[in-house]
A and B are shown apart, each in its own frame.
Chain A
Amino acid sequence: GRARPSHSEPRGRDGRGGEEEEEEMEGWHPLYPGHIPTSPLQKALLAAGSAVMALYDPYRHDMVAVLGETTGCLALPNLRDKMKNHPEGYRILQERPRIRLSTLDMARLQGLPDGSLGREYVRFLEDNKVSPDTRMPPKFVDDEELAYVIQRYREVHDLMHTLLGMPTNMLGEVVVKWFEAIQTGLPMCVLGAAFGPVRLSSRKLQVLATELVPWAIRSGLNASCVLNVYYEQRWEQPVESLREELGIFPPP
């Protein structure tokens, strides 16, 4: 469903009540837990503010998330439609799986053979000391299904790292962003891909420009939509085979 202002509540102490204006929020109802309905003006301000803050303070991951939510109004429906039109993607939209420590059987994944998706994913989490639970839930997406789509994109991000074989340092993140930008078309990924390299050394920039980015772009264009993969049912599948199936070229 979509959020729309209700026209019933009176507001303001001085009896200005009854008439609803675009700015007043108290008539808007949250569509999912954590949802904050926002007007177009607020979204624009948020997009601008979060972009500036994300560049100013790279540790503000919440700002990157907010930027993605406020600018994704074209890309997210596209992604959702891609998912709907694919049998596996459609199932994901129906079943709404979540990748969280509470839903993952870490012991089982660790026991899987080397080279399998599950084993390599756990290895990635351990090596980089990250956890799937640090992904921010969406707040500013005004459609409950699209909110799930962006949530899924965030939770699948670590799996992208695994599939592309990229670590979580700045260089690795930029490469993954390039891949995601091609795949999803999310403006936040495009901005991250474009501005991320700003903080890299020239040596790394060279490697980035000559080898990694071209490979990421080629893979991104060649691969089918990564959100259409039900990863939770493919832990045993070898990473190589999954790469081939998707169309991701082997990492340089």
Chain B
Amino acid sequence: CRCRALLSRPAGAVRARRGLAAGPEMHFGFQTVTEEERREKIYQVFENVAKKYDVMNDSMTLGIHRVWKDILMHKMNPCPGTLLLDVAGGTGDIAFRFINYVRSVRQRQLQRKLKHHQNLSWQEIFDSYQKDQFNSLGDSQVVVCDINREMLKVGKQKAQHLGYSEGLSWVLGNAEELPFDDDKFDVYTIAFGIRNVTRIDLALQEAYRVLKPGGRFLCLEFSHVSNPLLSRLYDLYSFQVIPVLGEVIAGDWRSYQYLVESIRQFPPQEELKAMIGDAGFFKVDYENLNFGIVAIHSGFKL
């Protein structure tokens, strides 16, 4: 039966898992497909789930994904004036958090400045306030880049709905071949996206290329749980509950089956750390969240 062939994972799949140039065989969840097929299938998955993406994230992780993204932002600790590239940023969660964070940092900056202006005349204070008021983000900017039109569409609608407009731009692009010049960005993030990239090595190289020297690479992604008991519970939840949630909430079992399978196929923490180092980054490290269900990898371009 053809299904058996699709479900087996030959040796080529091991190399394919690393996302290296390993010939035409790749993994799509637990299936074996060609590179081109994989890209297409993944595009379709996100096209199908785009509208229910946020609802599903909340249901599957019981809202905890918000905490993970907040932790990522705190780790980044951006100051006003930072130029962020959020790749696979689809529905904008990281971008909006960045804007909020930078705005509040900027607020505190302005308040401190005002405190130091106690000896100025009212006119001088008024003038400086005027100048800064229109710069609530302090020249910070975030570019959201995603390969999937539907995800970007949802992101733009969300931005409009939530009132985000300043310092935000949306670009259709492929993580393996970014439409940006070298040495442009201060920070590069990819949250829950790198798992879906077909050639992870290329994406890491592109990340290195577009970052300025001194720039930081941050990757938030599902990773591997080493604790055996927790791992079993996590597997049980992933394989039994998540596709059911996908069917009931989004009417789409298969996309969420793919999702849980793709998490299992993704390189574990140490392997990803090595790959990031191979791309040229220094001071590569990772932090496990929730015992390794999620990990934040970080590296610097020096």
A is bound by B: yes
Residues of B within 8 A of A (CB): 1, 3-4, 7-9, 17, 30, 224, 235-236, 239-241, 243-245, 247-249, 251, 253-254, 257, 261, 264-265, 268
- Contact across chains for B251 and A62 when beta carbons are under 8 A apart: yes
- Contact across chains for A23 and B240 when beta carbons are under 8 A apart: yes
- Contact across chains for A29 and B1 when beta carbons are under 8 A apart: yes
Residue contacts A-B, CB under 8 angstroms, 24 given? A9-B7, A9-B8, A11-B30, A12-B264, A13-B17, A13-B264, A13-B268, A14-B224, A23-B239, A25-B257, A26-B7, A27-B7, A29-B1, A29-B3, A36-B253, A41-B240, A42-B243, A46-B244, A46-B247, A49-B247, A52-B248, A53-B248, A53-B249, A60-B251
Complex Cα spacing A225 to B26, Å: 51
Interface residues of A in 1-53 (CB under 8 A from B): 6, 9-14, 23-27, 29-30, 36, 39, 41-42, 45-46, 49-50, 52-53
Q: Which residues of A contact B236 (CB under 8 A)?
A: 23
CB distance from A184 to the nearest CB of B (A): 23
Is A186 on the interface with B (CB-CB < 8 A)? no
The 5 A-B pairs at the shortest CB distance, nearest first, are namely A49-B248, A45-B244, A26-B30, A29-B3, A26-B7
CB distance from B195 to the nearest CB of A (A): 13
Q: Which residues of A contact B224 (CB under 8 A)?
A: 13-14
CB distance from B19 to the nearest CB of A (A): 14
CB distance from A188 to the nearest CB of B (A): 15
**Candidate in B1, B3, B240, B268 with the most chain A CB atoms within 10 angstroms:** B240
Is A66 on the interface with B (CB-CB < 8 A)? yes
Is A181 on the interface with B (CB-CB < 8 A)? no
Interface of A is mostly: loop
Given A9-B7, A42-B244, A49-B245, 7 new contacts (CB under 8 A): A6-B4, A11-B30, A14-B224, A23-B239, A25-B257, A41-B240, A45-B244
- Contact across chains for B247 and A66 when beta carbons are under 8 A apart: yes
CB distance from A176 to the nearest CB of B (A): 24
Q: Which residues of B contact A9 (CB under 8 A)?
A: 7-9
Q: Which residue of B has the minimal Cβ distance to A53?
A: B248
CB distance from B284 to the nearest CB of A (A): 21
CB distance from A69 to the nearest CB of B (A): 11
Is A139 on the interface with B (CB-CB < 8 A)? yes
- Contact across chains for A45 and B253 when beta carbons are under 8 A apart: no
Q: Which residue of A has the minimal Cβ distance to B1?
A: A29
Is A208 on the interface with B (CB-CB < 8 A)? no
Answer whether A29 and B4 are a contact pair too, CB < 8 Å, given A36-B254, A60-B251. yes
